Amino acid sequence: MLEIEDYIKIFFGVFAIMGPFSVMPIFVNLTAGKSKLEKQQLAKNASIAGLLVALCSVWLGSYILGFFNIGIPAFRVAGGILLLSLAINMINAKIPGAKQTPEELAEAKVSNRDLAIIPLAIPLIMGPGAISTVIVFSNNSSGIGHLVIMSIIVSILILNIFIFLRAAAYLSEKLGLIGINVISRIMGLILAAIAVEFMASGLIKLFPGWA
């Protein structure tokens, strides 16, 4: 297991990539015209689906990588590149393309499918960046204890997102576009630092001579 300070860093790192403040305006946009009860049910179902994806990333991520014969160092580099692209978009106050493209958002608004699964749970709550981050952090240490703590961390974060989605309309109105963009840029800076750390540690393992 890691030190408590490391788990605190992991908590805020995963919080930054999940980006509840960037999900809120999209949730408001997608649920426009729906009743309060429908919005609450969508927030609940999306959070549950996101939690299942997060827990699968914690407990099964390393096995999935092993199945495809992908090493953690290589995955760190790939995940770091993805996170850096997401961070740049967040710093520029843009919707990260890995989360949702404008075309996908437009289709989702007129689609009859369950919005809770796609696009709310995947990829808005648990997109490629969040999944890769959780998998990498889950492999920072070995043992059941570490995975249990990671499960607790992602569960708290998903609960946090659920609360944000329940209050999405109110918070979006109070924060305004400028407020949301400022928070998004701060989260983007944190995410960029995590991305560089991912790539650096992965490259050192792949090319020991660089150390």
Measured CA to CA, the distance from residue 86 to residue 192 in angstroms comes to 8
Of 161, 131, 159, nearest in space to 59 by CA = 131
Measured CA to CA, the distance from residue 33 to residue 2 in angstroms comes to 46
Share of the chain above pLDDT 70, in %: 90
Measured CA to CA, the distance from residue 135 to residue 149 in angstroms comes to 13
Measure Cα distances from 162 to 67, 68, 74, 125, 166 in Å.
Answer: 32, 33, 33, 10, 6
3-state DSSP assignment of residue 34:
coil
Can you give the residue range of the structural domain that contains 157?
4-210
pLDDT single digits (tens) 140-189: 998 999 999 999 999 999 999 999 999 988 888 888 878 888 888 888 89
Backbone dihedral region for residue 93 (phi beyond 0: left; psi -120 to 50: alpha; all else: beta): left
- How confident is the model over 127-147, as a mean pLDDT? 93
When pLDDT is cut at 50, 70 and 90, the band that residue 204 belongs to is very high
Measured CA to CA, the distance from residue 141 to residue 129 in angstroms comes to 20
Say if residues 30 and 101 touch (Cβ distance below 8 Å).
no
Q: Across all residues in the chain, what is the average pLDDT?
A: 86
Q: Looking at the 3D structure of the chain, how many domains does it have?
A: 1
When pLDDT is cut at 50, 70 and 90, the band that residue 112 belongs to is very low
Q: What is the pLDDT of residue 10?
A: 94
Q: What is the pLDDT of residue 19?
A: 75
The structure's pTM equals 0.84
